[in-house]
Amino acid sequence: MNPRSLLASMWLALAASANPALTTIQDVLYKADGTRFNGTLTISWSSFQAADNSAIVTQTTTVKVLNGNLRVQLVPVTTANPPGAYLVTYNSDGRIQFRETWSVPASATPLHVRDVRVASGNSTIGADTSGAVTEASVTGLLSDLAARPVKGPGFAVGRVMVVDSAGLLESASGSGGDCVHVDGSSGPCGSNAPGFMDGETPGGVVDGSNSIFTLSAPPNPASSLAVYRNGLLQKPGLDYNATGQTVQFVAGAAPQPGDTLLASYRLNGEAETAIYASPQVVCSGAGAATNSATLASVGSCVIPSGLLTPGDRLEARFDLEHQGSAAGFSFEVHWGGTVALHRDASTGDALATGRVDAALLTSGARLSAESWGTVLSLAGSVASAPDAYAGGITVDFWANASGGDTVTLRNFSVVRVP
């Protein structure tokens, strides 16, 4: 014999002797309604030694069953050391259907499932057929159970659950209509609900000599009080002092005739007056002049973040003066990035005025505008503005002039109305 052929035969003999003998289980599986079974069989076992001393390690294998056809090869376990059986789990329609135990003998011919199926309760290799798993056998389960919150002596069904200082689950105490606070205590709903007073006009005569004014309720907390004089925020201790419901301006700072006083503050209690009880001046002042031939900002009102909410309405009013007779001019009002008003005035327009109203929606605003001048006819317009205002927005007044003329923004104001 050729040496190479002899060597190959030896290797094939060694390879054949290295593999344990297998028994084939082949069958057609049906369901009780006569249709063929479709799904998978999950077969599991623990380590054992086959009859030929092959070491079989603990493992699981999955066999597909299509149109009822099953075929799988397994190492016999009736002659294993120790002898045992396989745990077979039938899976179909996305869930486990049932489990059974197989005891596979050595066989040179294929066997049916009925030939290897044994009654439940026989020993298995690799699984507990009863399905019971001890807590100690699950890694980390005991420590996780010890760390979980448990019922306290005050636990009761049908009530809100709170965690006490010891980490136990207790039921909240109180009446059925009470509200539970974040600290677990309870009380009548609304008893500590915060309220707000914005844009209140303090009581008192504005005549230049009176320095004491009265609020409708004491601010709570006192530090929440904000007093505005002609739209300018006054500084406590420097411009005024507040005690309870009383606001007293310091010597020499008494409001003068024509001044506007507004106060905003927080308060507690359920009996509260309406928010925005009177108009609130957001900003006002005199603007700048321009002789630029291109539109440029001559005044603006920067509304801070958090001031405006859906349902608010703002009025922006302005007055322009045109000096010179070389040419006409144009002016605009911008609501954020939206042009709310644009007009082109003629040489004869020495004065121009107008207003823009912004009705705040949940998203954006509805704008309406009207304007006129010395010669310029009255005109109005409406538009929708997509600009977001929750983070603040700017109302900007623009104008231009030509031929050496000058256009001046003499006055502007932005007012939030109830």
Condensed to tens digits (0 to 9), the pLDDT of residues 128-164 reads 444 567 777 777 787 888 778 888 887 888 778 888 8
CATH 2.60.120 for domain 281-417, yes or no, is yes
The helix (run of H) or strand (run of E) holding residue 116 is helix 113-116
Q: Which fold has domain 19-118?
A: Immunoglobulin-like (2.60.40)
> Which pLDDT score, from 0 to 100, does residue 275 have?
44
Report the pLDDT value the prediction gives residue 116, as an integer from 0 to 100: 92
The predicted-structure confidence for 19-63, as pLDDT tens digits, reads as follows 889 999 999 999 989 999 999 999 999 888 888 888 888 999 999
Mean pLDDT of 185-193: 63
The pLDDT of 284-310, averaged and rounded, is: 90
Task: Give per-residue pLDDT as tens, 55-111.
Answer: 888 999 999 999 999 999 999 999 888 888 899 999 998 888 889 999 999 999 999
DSSP character for 142? H
Q: Do domains 19-118 and 281-417 have the same CATH topology?
A: no
Q: What angle do CA 197, 277, 334 make, to 5 degrees?
A: 95
CA distance 277 to 214: 15
Q: Tell me what pLDDT residue 227 has.
A: 93
List CB contacts of 162: < 8 A, sequence separation 6 or more: 169, 170, 171, 172, 180, 184
Half-sphere exposure of 272 (CA within 13 A, CB side): 23
Scan for tokens 């597909």, then name that residue. 64
| pTM given for the model | 0.39
11 vs 273, higher pLDDT: 11
Q: List the domain boundaries for the chain.
A: 19-118, 194-278, 281-417
pLDDT, tens only, 198-255:
888 999 999 999 999 999 888 988 888 999 998 888 999 889 999 999 999 998 889 9
Per-position b or e across 286-308, b if 16+ CB within 10 A of its CB: ebeebbeeebebbbbbebeeeeb
Share of the chain above pLDDT 70, in %: 88
Average pLDDT on 307-327 reads: 91
| Average pLDDT of span 114-136 | 62
Is the pLDDT assigned to residue 328 strictly greater than 80?
A: yes
Q: Mean pLDDT across the chain, nearest whole number?
A: 85
